[in-house]
Chains A and B, each alone.
Chain A
Amino acid sequence: MTGRIVYADNNATTMVAPEVRDAMLPFFSDLYGNPSSMHLFGGQVKKYVEQAREKVAALLHADPSEIVFTSCGTESDNAAIRGVLAAYPDRRHIITSRVEHPAVKNLVQYLGKNGYRVSEISVDRLGRLDLDELREKLDADTALVSIMWANNETGVIFPIPQIADMVHSAGALFHTDAVQAAGKIPIDLKNVHVDLLSMSGHKIHAPKGIGVLYIRKGTHFVPYLMGGHQERGRRAGTENVPYIVGLGAACELAMQTMDEEQTRVQQMRDRLEREITSRAIDASVNGDPENRIPNTTNISFKYIEGESILILLSEAGIAASSGSACTSGSLEPSHVLRAMGIPFTRVHGSVRFSLSRYNTEEEIDYIIERMLAIERRLREISPFGRDEMHAQ
């Protein structure tokens, strides 16, 4: 390793912003009190928790009373889904998509084996949701629809406003995992009628270990963690004050940088993807090019394998991800790309680059050159596609 790090795996986790870290530090030293305490020493930190709540609410265009702090996106997803099902015990049908994050997918599959009826809505070759299928599956027995706002692997954005309206006309509740969308694209919960929404701190430059569950006012919900009265009884457990403060700071920053995400970051992403696909031996983009979060590109390289690509990228100091089976520890490749009908020849060779505002144009140049060299090197030793390569 050269010592240089080009971090292009921001959908996995992000750097803690220096402003966020600075905002957190006092709460590890002087301000360590418990916000629930009666004494002033503890009570004084409560206002910082409430300020953070207001900042999160501002990012989502929600009311602060609708914001519940959790430990992570996975907890928010579990709390949302289990909380609604517990509140509507007579309804036994859950709808989700085939491309959800494991935090939703595996929980819903578990519920499917334990008394619930589950429908998984398909996506097309570009990863777009089949809304007709969703309309057909909605029925009087449907308790909850849980469909992500944007996909973590491809970045494809689903039409959440439209889905929310469809779900409500059928009388069900709607939860969305917005972990990859929040902070990257505008979310306006005054106008988009989702009932519950999950987000995660460490995807938007706050640290790992803090998440948010938005619960719209008036939504019937049974708490997942029972105990003390924290978070208005909706999530027991002493508030993780430093991390809550950090998340508030990260949301405030995200509001200031949202324009940059949609201009400079998107331009870098577009250039990365354009140059790689036009200059590679055989590479193609996975996912709807029209509707994607601005920082993500998922590129498949035909006839080479993702883990090999990642190791060689890593040797060059570049951090990225892959949908290959070999990188997951399981023996099966990405369920998202498989659901989209991407052929095996391309699924195993998929690489996801996810950028942030901390990336530079020069880093993009570096990724492009190294990636193209790696493709050529691995194609040289691949038994497949020999003729196509030599035709180049």
Chain B
Amino acid sequence: MWDYNEKVKEYFLNPRNAGEIKDPDAVGEAGSLACGDHLKLMLKIDKQTEVITDAKFQTFGCGSAIASASALTEMIIGKTIAEAEKITNKDIVDFLGGLPVEKMHCSVMGQEALEAAINQYRGKSPEPLEERKRHIVCECFGVTDAEIMRVVRDNNLTTVEDVTHYTKAGGGCMSCHDKIRQLIAQVRGEAEKAPPARHERRKLTNIQKMRLIEETFEKEIRPMLRADGGDIELIDIEGDRVLVSLRGMCSSCMSASFTLKKYVEPKLREFVSPDLVIEEVKP
């Protein structure tokens, strides 16, 4: 059982601003269903003053993920975009009076969703997947060097374990621990001009692929299928076999297997790994 303080419990048991804004001016999302938590943040913004007049959230996640998201909405309502932008995950943790150290990543998810929403409001397009992929340090949880360096800086982190608690990076296969150590040293100035961690393509394990595959589904594959009234569900990953099930129009479409082999599989190979094979599982 986690040792949540009374304020965290209160924000989990009676979350403020849970729900949807029907016609939001900005939406930001962070996290992933596969990794066990996801946050969707919706903002209403006064165009003249750039004041956030309303904020609501939806969270799939644990107690501290819900509490962090709710706290964040209270913190930003009434602030201008410029003020909100300065909020770090540490501010969320401080607002809540502390989180168990293993749960710090929940506060980081809040900060990331806020950043995504502000970027969207300003018309900044999200980092292209291919670009983001080149900066990934932890492949298990899809965490980039910039994300790691930011939490190290904002929270004055010193160990790989800290970084794992704050970003999940390093919590899977552990093969990125050396890179994380380098990044910590770089931020802390202990190694002037340390070479930046470089993403090297190597054989991914199941869990390493999970997040990248999900992201590719969300950003590259689903939008196209949905345009045709279909959808696709990721069932499992067995080695290099990606098992999927088709939904909606796709499930009865004669050309569905063609779509899988000619469109979905190449996308996965392009964005995740050239060895992937897609297979359809009938419900």
Q: Which residues of A contact B (CB under 8 A)?
A: 303-305, 307-308, 311-312, 314-315, 324-327, 329-333, 341, 343-345, 348, 380-384
Contacts and interface: CB of A to CB of B under 8 A. Distances in A.
A132 B60 CA distance: 39
B59 A383 contact: yes
Contact of A381 (B2, B35, B66, B164): B66
B54 to A, nearest CB: 16
B19 to A, nearest CB: 7
A330 B62 contact: no
SS class of chain A's interface: helix, strand, loop or mixed? Answer: loop
A314 B4 CA distance: 13
Query: Chain B CB within 10 Å — which of A314, A331, A380 has the most?
Result: A331
A348 B62 CA distance: 10
22 contacts: A303-B60, A307-B62, A308-B62, A311-B4, A311-B63, A312-B13, A315-B13, A324-B62, A325-B35, A329-B102, A330-B171, A331-B35, A332-B171, A341-B235, A341-B243, A343-B233, A343-B236, A344-B234, A381-B18, A381-B19, A383-B38, A383-B60
A324 B35 CA distance: 10
B1, B18, B36 pick with most chain A CB within 10 angstroms: B36
A155 B195 CA distance: 51
Query: When A and B form their complex, which 3 residue pairs have the shortest distance between CB atoms, in order from nearest?
Result: A307-B62, A383-B58, A326-B62
A384 B38 contact: yes
B224 interface: no
A311 B67 CA distance: 13
Interface of B: 1-2, 4, 12-13, 15, 18-19, 29, 33-40, 57-63, 65-66, 102, 141, 164, 168, 171-172, 207, 210, 233-236, 243
Nearest to A340: B236
Given A324-B62, A343-B234, A344-B33, 4 more contacts: A314-B1, A325-B36, A331-B141, A382-B60
By secondary structure, the B interface counts as mixed
Contacts, number: 83
A383 to B, nearest CB: 4
B19 A331 contact: no
A237 B57 CA distance: 58
Given A308-B63, A326-B36, A348-B36, A381 B171 contact: no
A305 B60 CA distance: 6
A325 to B, nearest CB: 4
A307 B37 CA distance: 11
B36 A381 contact: no
B15 A381 contact: yes
Given A345-B33, A348-B36, A305 B13 contact: no
Contact of A343 (B12, B63, B171, B235): B235
A380 B59 CA distance: 9
Contacts of B168: 331
Contacts of B37: 305, 326
A333 B37 CA distance: 12
Contacts of B171: 330-332
